[in-house]
């Protein structure tokens, strides 16, 4: 198959899977690749204002489903990924500097930190809701990359925005290693293997959503 045909197939292969086979687990090495796809995603100023939590335990997924309108894919998927976004008031020049200092080969820490400070002040006037939007943009970008990589691995997925953020946050806060000091739940992605066939794509025609100048 030509690479172009392969890509074309891949574009139409992804669909919102709402009927996962609970008996088919994802291979560990694929979960590792998905985690890396988030790690390597682009982010504004390289801030990576997100963390990921992979939940495979059925009891925990069932608990999370109770915060998600009992959506069955949350329970039946092989792995539920919780993407956490940085709390907006924790993003400032100090935390940006700390972030850059954790990179091994990063130069120009002072300049980069100053640029972050300028963005927060000049573009967002240090307003929490605008900074939150900026952070969520980065999370969604990482999510898009991850979902595309999942599709390349023939893993089905469902992006889930319909859940109670506060309830999930409180539940996560009871566990160690859930990043809740600086991060909060942003979006869920159910991952696994679907049982059925995707329904036909409902999309506006390409010419109606695309323009060439």
Ligand X SMILES: Cc1cc2nc3c(=O)[nH]c(=O)nc-3n(C[C@H](O)[C@H](O)[C@H](O)COP(=O)(O)O)c2cc1C
**In this complex, which beta carbon is closest to ligand X, that of residue 47 or of residue 160?**
160
Residue 212 beta carbon to ligand X: minimum distance, rounded to whole angstroms: 24
Residue 15 beta carbon to ligand X: minimum distance, rounded to whole angstroms: 4
Q: Binding to ligand X by residue 18, rule CB under 6 A?
A: yes
Residue 173 beta carbon to ligand X: minimum distance, rounded to whole angstroms: 22
Q: Binding to ligand X by residue 54, rule CB under 6 A?
A: no
Residue 129 beta carbon to ligand X: minimum distance, rounded to whole angstroms: 18
**In this complex, which beta carbon is closest to ligand X, that of residue 65 or of residue 120?**
65
**Of the candidates 35, 110, 38, 136, which has an alpha carbon nearest to the alpha carbon of residue 79?**
35
Query: For the chain, what percentages of helix, strand and coil (3-state, to nearest 5) are there?
Result: 50, 15, 35
**In this complex, which beta carbon is closest to ligand X, that of residue 102 or of residue 201?**
201
User: Concatenated DSSP letters for 115-173?
Assistant: HHHHIIIIITTT-HHHHHHHHHHHHHHHHHHHHHHHHHTT-EEEEE--S-HHHHHHHHT
Residue showing tokens 């409902």? 202
Q: Which of residues 55-84 bind ligand X (CB under 6 A)?
A: 71
| Coil, strand or helix at 18 | coil
Query: Structure tokens of 47?
Result: 């801030």
Interface pick for ligand X out of 104, 201, 210, 213 (rule CB under 6 A): 201
**Of the candidates 141, 85, 86, 91, which has an alpha carbon nearest to the alpha carbon of residue 116?**
91
**Of the candidates 48, 95, 58, 42, which has an alpha carbon nearest to the alpha carbon of residue 190?**
58
Query: Structure tokens of 29?
Result: 């090495």
Q: Which of residues 134-173 bind ligand X (CB under 6 A)?
A: 158-162
Residue 18 beta carbon to ligand X: minimum distance, rounded to whole angstroms: 6
**In this complex, which beta carbon is closest to ligand X, that of residue 161 or of residue 205?**
161
Number of residues that bind ligand X (CB under 6 A): 10
Query: Would you say 100 and 93 are in contact if contact means Cβ atoms under 8 Å apart?
Result: no
**In this complex, which beta carbon is closest to ligand X, that of residue 158 or of residue 191?**
158
Residue 95 beta carbon to ligand X: minimum distance, rounded to whole angstroms: 26
Residues found near ligand X in the complex (CB under 6 A): 15-16, 18, 71, 158-162, 201
């Amino acid at each position: 198959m030509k690479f172009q045909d392969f890509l074309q197939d891949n574009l139409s292969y992804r669909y919102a899977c709402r009927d996962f086979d609970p008996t088919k687990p994802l291979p560990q090495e694929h979960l590792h690749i998905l985690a890396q796809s988030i790690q390597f995603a682009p982010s504004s100023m390289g801030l990576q204002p997100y963390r990921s939590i992979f939940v495979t335990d059925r009891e925990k997924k069932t608990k999370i489903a109770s915060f998600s309108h009992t959506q069955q894919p949350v329970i039946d998927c092989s792995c539920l990924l919780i993407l956490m976004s940085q709390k907006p008031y924790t993003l400032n020049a100090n935390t940006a500097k700390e972030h850059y200092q954790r990179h091994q080969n990063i130069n120009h820490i002072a300049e980069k930190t100053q640029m972050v400070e300028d963005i927060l002040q000049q573009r967002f006037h240090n307003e929490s809701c605008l900074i939150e939007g900026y952070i969520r943009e980065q999370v969604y970008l990482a999510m898009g990359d991850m979902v595309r990589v999942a599709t390349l691995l023939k893993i089905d997925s469902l992006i889930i925005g319909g859940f109670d953020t506060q309830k999930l946050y409180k539940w996560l806060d009871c566990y160690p290693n859930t990043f809740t000091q600086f991060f909060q739940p942003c979006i869920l992605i159910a991952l696994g293997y679907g049982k059925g066939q995707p329904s036909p794509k409902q999309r506006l025609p390409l010419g109606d959503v695309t323009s060439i100048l």
